[in-house]
Amino acid sequence: MSTLHTRAPTLRARAVSKGYTTGRLRTSVLENLSLSIDSGALTLISGPSGCGKSTLLTILSGLQGVDQGQVHALGDELGRLDKPALERFRLQHTGFVFQDFSLFPALNACEQVELPLHYLGMSRSRAKERAQHALDEVGLTSQRHLRPAELSGGEKQRVALARAIAKEPQLLFADEPTSALDAANGQAVIDILHRIARNHDTTVLCVSHDARLIRHADRVLYMEDGRILQDSCAPSNAAGPH
């Protein structure tokens, strides 16, 4: 069992519950869920639609709060942070990749990646340098001057990935990052996510029902009805359940 278990978890949820109210109807999405996730590995949350995996990702990333329980990220209890503090936490420590690339049509690839860096207080030249480095890492060196309309779906997702990793976040969250991509592009994104986890010791938490991702994940959490039913590590990575 491995190096994955020798370090302190970067993400920890303890007895977390979350539900939504629509009209008079209360739907429970997560029920008394606990888990720990380590850095340096690609952890995949899988399960059928509506099982609560995306909700779990948004809770662990600080995008929304919990009804009950506690969430610790990098040692901070997210429930104790107010909205500006949560925004600061996300700015400094997290990256996001979503199925929808959410790129600004007017900006070229390099500018898309640079934009969040300026809000970290980085100088223009430093931000540009970082952006170019991130684009190199996702294999888009020659496409850095192209706008989204000139990029393929896979290239757009890699720009979004570069935008997420340019901040050099300790936590990288990806929600269905390969669902809209063909096999080759999906594989490229999976490889990049894996490489980021390994090379940068980043905690990569990915939500997907894409079977291709399951094969490449270091650890797979299988969810149903708001609970984790199965927690398994890929044999090659020797990461066991927590």
Partner 1 sequence: MIALARKSLLYEWPRFAPVACAIGFACLLQLLQASLVLGIFRSASVQVSGSSAQLWVGYPGTASVNLGRPIPEGVEALMRMDSAVERIEPFQWSDGNWRGSTGNVAVSISGINPEPDGQVYAHVLSPAERSKLREPDSVIVDRSDLGKLGVHVGDSASVNGYRVRVVAESRGLRSLSGINIVASLETARRLDTDPADASGPTYLVAQLREPNDADAVAARLCCKPAFGPYQVWTASDFARRSELYWMLDTGAGAGVLFLAMIVLVAGAAISSQALMGAVAGSVRQYAMLNALGIGLKNLRWVVLEQALWIGAAGLAGAAVLGLLLLLIAHSQDVPIAFNGTVTLACLLVALAVTGVSGLAAVRSLRHAEPALLLR
Examine residue 92 and tell whether it contacts partner 1 (CB under 8 A): yes
Nearest distance from C-beta of residue 5 to partner 1, angstroms:
30
Nearer to partner 1, 50 or 240 (CB): 50
Torsion of CA 173, 179, 180, 184, to 10 degrees: 100
Examine residue 146 and tell whether it contacts partner 1 (CB under 8 A): no
Binds partner 1 (CB under 8 A): choice among 94, 143, 178, 208: 94
Q: Which of residues 13-52 bind partner 1 (CB under 8 A)?
A: none
Examine residue 107 and tell whether it contacts partner 1 (CB under 8 A): yes
Nearer to partner 1, 167 or 216 (CB): 167
Strand segments, DSSP code E, in 5-137 are 11-22, 25-37, 42-46, 68-73, 76-77, 94-98
What's the chain's length in residues?
Answer: 242
Examine residue 170 and tell whether it contacts partner 1 (CB under 8 A): no
Nearest to 162 by CA among 188, 133, 205: 133
Burial tier of 120 (Cβ tally within 10 Å: 0-12, 13-18, 19+): middle
Helices 153-165 & 183-200 angle (0-180, nearest 10)? 10
Where along the sequence are the contacts to partner 1 (CB under 8 A)? 54-55, 57-58, 61, 63-64, 84, 87-92, 94-96, 98-100, 102-107, 111, 114-116, 118-119, 124, 147, 163-164, 167, 175
